[in-house]
Amino acid sequence: MGRVPAMGRKKNKKRQQPNPQQSFSTSMDVDAKLQQAIPLYQAGQLQQAEQICQQILKDFPQHADALHLLGVIAHQVGDYRIATSLITQAIEIDSNQSSFFYNLGNVLGEQGRLEESIEAYHQAIHIQPDHANAYNNLGIALQEQGRLEESIQAYQQAIRIQPGHSNAYSNLGIILKEQGRLEESIQAYQQAIHIQPDHADAYSNLGIVFKEQGRLEESIQAYQQAI
C-alpha cells in the first residue's frame, strides 16, 4: 500500500554542504542551519543532516525541530525505537506541529503499533484538517486493522482534499477489491494511473482485478506496464 513518506523525501534538492562543526550562538543561526539540514535529508545525505541536528542539540537540547528531523532520519534508516523516542520528545516540547504527529504515526505504523499510529494521525489532522497524506496513511492503518469502511472514508477524504493523490486512489482500489467491488476497484486504479502514469503498484493490482474478471488480455497489458 502507498504509505506517504515523511517530509517529501523524494525531492532531490542539492545545497552546499554545511560545516557540521560550526557552533551556534543565536536562535537565528540555529534556524538557518536547520534549513540546510532539511534539503540534505531530502537529497539522501543523511549523515550530514544528522551531524547538523546533533550540533544544534548540543547547544540547544530542547530544539523541537532538530529533535524531530533527527527522529525522521532514524526512521529512514530503520531505527524505529530511537525515531519514536526523538519525535515524542519533539512533541513534548511543541505539541502544535502536525508534521510531528504525522511522522510519529508513520514510525508507529512501521512497528505495528496501529492504535497509537491511528491516534497520532488523528492528532495531525486535528491540527491540520487539510493534511491529505495523514488521511491516506490513516486509511492504511485502519485497513490493516480490518476497519474497512473507516479506511475507505479516510482515503476518500484524502482525495477530496487533494484530487491528484495517486496513492490514495491506489489504496482505495485495494480495499474495494477486498470487498469484491471489482468495477469500482478498476476505476480507482485507473484514476491513480491517470494521475501518475508510472504507478507500478496500481498497474500490478489492476492486472490482478482484470485476471479475476477473466479479462486476460487487459490483465497482461497491465502487468507489462507494471514492469
Collapse the DSSP code of 86 into the 3-class scheme (helix H, G, I; strand E, B; otherwise coil) and give the result.
Answer: helix
Can you tell me the distance from the alpha carbon of 163 to that of 157, in angstroms, rounded to the nearest whole number? 10
Residues in the chain: 227
**Interval 188-208: pLDDT, tens:** 999 999 999 999 999 999 999
Section 111-129 average pLDDT: 98
**Interval 9-18: pLDDT, tens:** 222 222 222 2
List the end-to-end C-alpha distance of the chain, in Å, as a whole number: 17
CATH 3.40.50.2000 fits 163-227, yes or no: no
Amino acid of residue 187 = Q
**Chain centroid to CA 141:** 12
Section 152-173 average pLDDT: 98
Please compute, for residue 101, the number of CA atoms within 13 A of its CA located in the half-sphere on the CB side. 22
Section 169-191 average pLDDT: 98
Burial label for 184, CB within 10 Å (0-12, 13-18, 19+), is middle
